[in-house]
């Protein structure tokens, strides 16, 4: 379903207002104001070791990414109007007038097992004393907002502190000493300002010094790699001593991912840090992909795609790069393979129901689909 959209093309004009604000101007709270800046997290604290992985039972070994969306009137798991006041303008679809609420009532049902309902108190107890960091672009921000809401709604009386600057935003659940952090990084590799302009260093990751102090890392990148024109966030790419004005974007993505993989193998201690990679999140601007040839966006979509009528592969050139690179890493890294399950949810995007009134079929409403991603993360961390 991603095929033919790797270069984004004309769809950029529909969603770049939103992601430029999310990705270029730093992190802000749901009301759009900069959160109180209490300083970036520094130093390395003593981390607790994760227990060694035990052999998994048949129930836990099932492929949670194969399944379907079933209507469940007990969903959503929280109400953003009353249970999560932190949702950003880009993702708060109900606040900005979305009339249909059925998109909130679909639950992901794996074919061979049951995905446990998210239990915030259990999650926080399991993660007590740990720091969980999402690292990536606005789709990581989307995912992070979901986890913050799931936790906040589940322990509404918990003591919570917030801190933010242009690179990071942190929610700390003080009663459990659990911090949930989003770190802004469009490409994972570095971009440096030099005399010739902004240079993307395809073989450098300086932010890794902070990342490796975390207990759980959830990485994501792809959305910005193929962006061209005024929205492009770099002027040159560099690998070693060679500087390029431009480069095939899939080749550059592959090189950047290989640099990240080398960083994981060299820097991450798997006894104290769990590493995940969030798979490619699909967008919905081409109705031919769900048997509606006339549709050019997700504006009128109110229900998921039926897998029985529209097969979903979850395959694309970018996802193939991700899987190839992950297979080369010697240390344990888990793929949150959310692509195919998310391809079915043409109904779950903000569309025009956001503060900017642009057509956004790239990000996801909160509450909504990313809650299922975090249910899977919860399952993985509890295994």
Query: DSSP labels for 266-315?
Result: HH--TTT-EEEEEPPPP----GGGGT-TT--SSTT--SPPPTTTS-----
Residue 42, in any domain of the structure? no
Spacing of C-alpha 242 from chain mean position: 32
Q: Specify the CATH number for the domain of residue 78.
A: 3.40.50.1110
Q: What mean pLDDT comes out for the span 54-62?
A: 52
Residue 38: pLDDT over 90: no
Check residue 61 and give its pLDDT: 74
Which residue has tokens 């409403």? Answer: 365
Q: What mean pLDDT comes out for the span 155-171?
A: 94
Instruction: Kindly state the helix (H) or strand (E) to which residue 328 belongs, with its residue range.
Output: helix 317-328
> Which of 335, 346, 351, 315 lies closest to 4 in space, CA to CA?
315
Structurally, how many domains does the chain consist of? Answer: 1
Which residue has tokens 């060299």? Answer: 266
Q: Is the dihedral of CA 108, 114, 120, 126 positive or negative?
A: negative
What is the span of the domain harbouring residue 367? 9-32+61-382
Cis bond before residue 13 (omega within 30° of 0)? no
User: Hey, is 179 helix, strand or coil?
Assistant: strand
Residue 55, in any domain of the structure? no
State how far the Cα of 216 lies from the Cα of 272, in Å rounded to an integer.
9
Identify the weakest region by mean pLDDT among 152-156, 199-203, 288-292, 345-349: 288-292
Instruction: Kindly state the helix (H) or strand (E) to which residue 193 belongs, with its residue range.
Output: strand 190-194
More confident residue, 11 or 264: 264
Tokens of 242: 């060679």
Q: What mean pLDDT comes out for the span 289-302?
A: 93
User: Does the annotation mark 25 as catalytic?
Assistant: no
Neighbours of 242 (CB within 10 A): 9
Residue 93, in any domain of the structure? yes
Residue 39, in any domain of the structure? no
Identify the weakest region by mean pLDDT among 154-163, 301-310, 339-348: 301-310
Check residue 92 and give its pLDDT: 96
User: Does the annotation mark 363 as catalytic?
Assistant: yes
State how far the Cα of 168 lies from the Cα of 256, in Å rounded to an integer.
21
Q: What mean pLDDT comes out for the span 185-199?
A: 97
Q: What mean pLDDT comes out for the span 367-378?
A: 98
Residue 114, in any domain of the structure? yes
State how far the Cα of 318 lies from the Cα of 72, in Å rounded to an integer.
33
Check residue 351 and give its pLDDT: 97
Q: Are the C-beta atoms of 290 and 303 separated by less than 8 Å?
A: no
Check residue 48 and give its pLDDT: 58
Residue 244: pLDDT over 60: yes
More confident residue, 129 or 310: 129
> To the nearest whole percent, how much of the chain has pLDDT over 90?
77
Tokens of 90: 């880009």
Check residue 255 and give its pLDDT: 98
Query: Pairing between strand 236-239 and 242-244?
Result: antiparallel
User: Does the annotation mark 184 as catalytic?
Assistant: no
> Which of 328, 325, 339, 350 lies closest to 372 in space, CA to CA?
339
Neighbours of 194 (CB within 10 A): 12
Residue 180: pLDDT over 70: yes
Instruction: Kindly state the helix (H) or strand (E) to which residue 163 belongs, with its residue range.
Output: strand 160-164
More confident residue, 213 or 307: 213
Residue 115, in any domain of the structure? yes
Residue 278, in any domain of the structure? yes
> Which of 322, 223, 254, 277 lies closest to 5 in space, CA to CA?
223
DSSP structure class, residue 15: H
State how far the Cα of 47 lies from the Cα of 367, in Å rounded to an integer.
32
More confident residue, 41 or 309: 309
Q: What is the pLDDT of residues 95-120, one digit of tens each?
A: 999 999 999 999 999 998 989 999 99
Residue 32: pLDDT over 60: no
Residue tagged active-site, from 137, 138, 342, 371: 138
Residue tagged active-site, from 254, 284, 349, 363: 363
More confident residue, 13 or 373: 373
Residue 43, in any domain of the structure? no
Residue 381 backbone dihedrals phi, psi, to 5 degrees: -70, -25
State how far the Cα of 103 lies from the Cα of 304, in Å rounded to an integer.
8
């Amino acid at each position: 379903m991603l095929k033919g959209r790797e270069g984004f093309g004309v769809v950029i004009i529909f969603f770049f207002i939103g992601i430029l604000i999310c990705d270029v101007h730093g992190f802000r709270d749901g009301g759009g104001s900069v959160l109180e800046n209490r300083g970036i997290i520094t130093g390395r604290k003593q981390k607790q070791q994760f227990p060694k992985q035990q052999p998994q039972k048949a129930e836990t070994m099932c492929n949670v990414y194969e399944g379907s969306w079933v209507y469940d009137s007990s969903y959503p798991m929280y109400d953003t109007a009353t249970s999560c006041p932190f949702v950003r303008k880009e993702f708060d679809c109900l606040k900005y007038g979305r009339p249909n609420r059925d998109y909130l009532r679909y639950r992901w049902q794996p074919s061979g097992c049951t995905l446990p309902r998210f239990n915030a108190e259990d999650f926080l107890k399991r993660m007590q004393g740990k720091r969980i960091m999402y690292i990536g672009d606005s789709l990581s921000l989307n995912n992070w907002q979901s986890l913050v809401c799931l936790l906040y709604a589940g322990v509404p009386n918990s003591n919570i502190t917030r801190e933010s600057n242009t690179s990071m935003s942190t929610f700390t659940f003080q009663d459990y000493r659990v911090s949930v952090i989003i770190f802004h990084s469009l490409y994972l590799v570095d971009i440096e300002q030099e005399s010739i302009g902004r240079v993307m260093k395809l073989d450098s990751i300086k932010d890794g010094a902070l990342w490796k102090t975390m207990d759980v890392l959830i990485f994501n990148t792809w959305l910005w790699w193929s962006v061209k024109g005024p929205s492009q966030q770099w002027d040159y790419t560099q690998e070693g001593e060679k500087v390029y004005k431009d480069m095939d974007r899939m080749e550059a993505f592959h090189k950047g991912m290989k640099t990240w993989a080398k960083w994981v193998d060299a820097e991450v201690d798997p006894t104290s840090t769990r590493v995940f990679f969030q798979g490619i999140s699909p967008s919905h601007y081409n109705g031919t992909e769900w048997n509606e040839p006339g549709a050019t966006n997700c504006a009128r979509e109110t229900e998921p795609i039926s897998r029985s009528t529209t097969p979903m592969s979850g395959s694309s050139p970018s996802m193939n790069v991700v899987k190839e690179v992950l297979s080369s890493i010697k240390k344990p890294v888990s793929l949150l393979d959310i692509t195919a399950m998310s391809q079915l949810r043409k109904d779950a995007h903000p569309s025009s129901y956001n503060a900017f009134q642009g057509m956004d079929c790239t990000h996801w409403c909160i509450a909504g689909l990313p809650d299922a991603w975090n249910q899977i993360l919860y399952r993985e961390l509890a295994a």
